[in-house]
Chains A and B, each alone.
Chain A
Amino acid sequence: MSHDHDHTEPPTEIELRVKALETLLVNKGLVNPDTLNKIIDTYEHKVGPRNGAHVVARAWTDPEFKQALLLDATSAVASLGYTGRQGEHLNVVENTPEVHNLVVCTLCSCYPWTVLGLPPVWYKSAPYRSRAVSNPRSVLEEFGTHIDPAVKIRVWDSTSEMRYLVLPQRPPGTDDWTEEQLQELISRNAMIGVETVKVPGTRPEAD
């Protein structure tokens, strides 16, 4: 679904401002237009939540990898080829029957880009950033997620360069699924902690 501006309408103030800034920086030789396209392409098409789903599915199917991931997530994730900006220092936090983890950045928008890509609009919004720490259950309910009151909600406020990824609980009934099939179940939202991984209705085709 595209939300791009309809070009039959006059441009908005911010569109004009960004265009002017781009023209200015290119004319002054401060940015290379090809570099802009490279940066956009990287985060629009290459780095995204499929990386994180790969990490989670591997952890669900490979106990040694899971152990390494919980001990030193930065190295374990790098072993799958995911390194870079906003993923320099990773901590993977595991959901259990006793604890449900939720990630926020109350001060800005810190988010593990290498495994999830750029954050969604709601993650960067004032309502989420204000309430995730003080009333996390109300936040979860807005995503349709009900966590048993006996389960502790552990909220991680990303105030440093440490980046957090939630390792969701593997849904029951998926014991004989392959890593590739499991990846299809794992949503971005489950790796932020606002959702759980659902018991599937139908199983994806094996490759």
Chain B
Amino acid sequence: MQGAHDLGGKHGLGPIDPEPESDEPVFHAEWERKAFALTMAAGMLGEWNIDESRYARERQHPIAYLSQSYYENWVAGVSKLLVEKGLVSAVEMNAVGQSGDHSAAKNLRIPTPEDAEKILTAGGPTLLENNRDPDFAPGDRVRVRKNHTTSHTRAPAYVQGSVGTIMRHYGCHVFPDTHARQQDGGEHLYSVCFSAESLWGSNNDNSEVLIDLWEPYLEAVS
């Protein structure tokens, strides 16, 4: 979707103003620790995947997305998913912690600290078996298709319509566009190189951008 999250190339967002690395804590407040851990722990219930999580954060009014801090957007995303997946009712979400209704938890495995450690250490690889040959090979020229979808995609707006060169084939990976609708299946994934000129016109400061793009995003350029 063409939401506020799709930030590549946008202007007017101000200076970066980084904190010095040596002074920067992992979390800046106790609520950030909890926002992070609650999002991770709720995700471990297995009721949604990472692409649904991303889409839930994206589906906000642009003013909300841009004015909230990073973990505020996480809280917005996980709150939305908990209600949409029926683990928490809208009434419970607004009644701030009064409910002790365990019915949603009954059929779920609630991760223990040991489970969480295993899940975090194992991760969730996205590489899949695929016996279909890739359409493209390193060196091929490709154009990124225009895609004005309202659903989740990982083809940034700034690259759509531009022509680049396939640098590497990463194999077949879970396809986020369908995964965000809980459909399994993978597509060939490539690292594609775009010159600054092809993305930004005459702005050429001797730079290039490499973007990971799935095969359905791409069409051959003769």
A206 at the interface (CB under 8 A from B): no
For window 57-81 of chain B, which residues contact chain A by CB distance below 8 Å? 57, 66, 69-70, 72, 75, 78-79
A107 at the interface (CB under 8 A from B): yes
Q: Are B38 and A162 in contact (CB under 8 A)?
A: no
Task: Return the contact of A24 from the options B30, B54, B88, B211 (Cβ within 8 A).
Answer: B88
Q: Are A24 and B96 in contact (CB under 8 A)?
A: yes
Q: Are A32 and B113 in contact (CB under 8 A)?
A: yes
Task: Return the contact of A31 from the options B19, B42, B125, B158 (Cβ within 8 A).
Answer: B42
Q: Are B116 and A157 in contact (CB under 8 A)?
A: no
For window 96-112 of chain B, which residues contact chain A by CB distance below 8 Å? 96-102, 104-105, 108, 110-112
Q: Note all chain B residues with C-beta closer than 8 A to A126.
A: 7, 10, 13-14, 66
Q: Are A35 and B116 in contact (CB under 8 A)?
A: yes
Q: Are B121 and A18 in contact (CB under 8 A)?
A: no
The digit string for A41-85, where 1 denotes a CB below 8 A from any CB of B, is 011100010000000000000000000000000000000000111
With A120-B18, A122-B17 known as contacts, the answer to whether A133 contacts B27 (CB < 8 A) is: no
B184 at the interface (CB under 8 A from A): no
Considering only CB atoms and an 8 Å cut-off, how many residues of chain A contact the other chain? 87
Number of interchain pairs (Cβ within 8 Å):
285
Q: Are A85 and B120 in contact (CB under 8 A)?
A: yes
B189 at the interface (CB under 8 A from A): yes
With A28-B100, A126-B13 known as contacts, the answer to whether A160 contacts B127 (CB < 8 A) is: no
Task: Return the contact of A106 from the options B33, B70, B156 (Cβ within 8 A).
Answer: B156
Q: A206: shortest Cβ distance to chain B, in Å?
A: 23
Complex Cα distance A142/B13, Å?
A: 14
Considering only CB atoms and an 8 Å cut-off, how many residues of chain B contact the other chain? 99
With A39-B36, A88-B126, A127-B14 known as contacts, the answer to whether A154 contacts B210 (CB < 8 A) is: yes
Complex Cα distance A115/B108, Å?
A: 31
Q: B43: shortest Cβ distance to chain A, in Å?
A: 10
Task: Return the contact of B105 from the options A28, A44, A128 (Cβ within 8 A).
Answer: A28
Q: Note all chain B residues with C-beta closer than 8 A to A143.
A: 16, 18
Q: Are A23 and B97 in contact (CB under 8 A)?
A: yes
The digit string for A103-141, where 1 denotes a CB below 8 A from any CB of B, is 000111100001001101110111111110111110100
Q: Note all chain A residues with C-beta closer than 8 A to B176.
A: 160
B203 at the interface (CB under 8 A from A): yes
With A4-B30, A127-B15, A157-B210 known as contacts, the answer to whether A32 contacts B41 (CB < 8 A) is: yes
Task: Return the contact of A157 from the options B8, B30, B72, B88 (Cβ within 8 A).
Answer: B8
Task: Return the contact of A40 from the options B36, B99, B173 (Cβ within 8 A).
Answer: B36
Q: Note all chain A residues with C-beta closer than 8 A to B154.
A: 107, 159-160
Complex Cα distance A15/B27, Å?
A: 14
Closest 9 CB pairs of A and B: A23-B97, A106-B8, A160-B212, A29-B105, A38-B113, A20-B96, A153-B207, A122-B18, A36-B37
Can you list 6 contacts pairing A with B, beta carbon distance less than 8 Å?
A: A22-B97, A24-B99, A28-B88, A40-B37, A88-B125, A124-B70
What is the interface of chain B, defined by CB distance below 8 A to chain A?
Answer: 5-11, 13-19, 21, 23-31, 33-38, 40-42, 44-45, 54, 57, 66, 69-70, 72, 75, 78-79, 82, 87-88, 92-93, 96-102, 104-105, 108, 110-113, 115-117, 119-127, 154-156, 158, 170, 173-174, 176, 189, 191, 196, 199-200, 203, 205-214
In addition to A18-B31, A106-B8, 9 A-B residue pairs with Cβ atoms within 8 Å of each other are: A3-B28, A22-B38, A30-B105, A107-B154, A121-B70, A134-B196, A155-B209, A160-B173, A161-B174
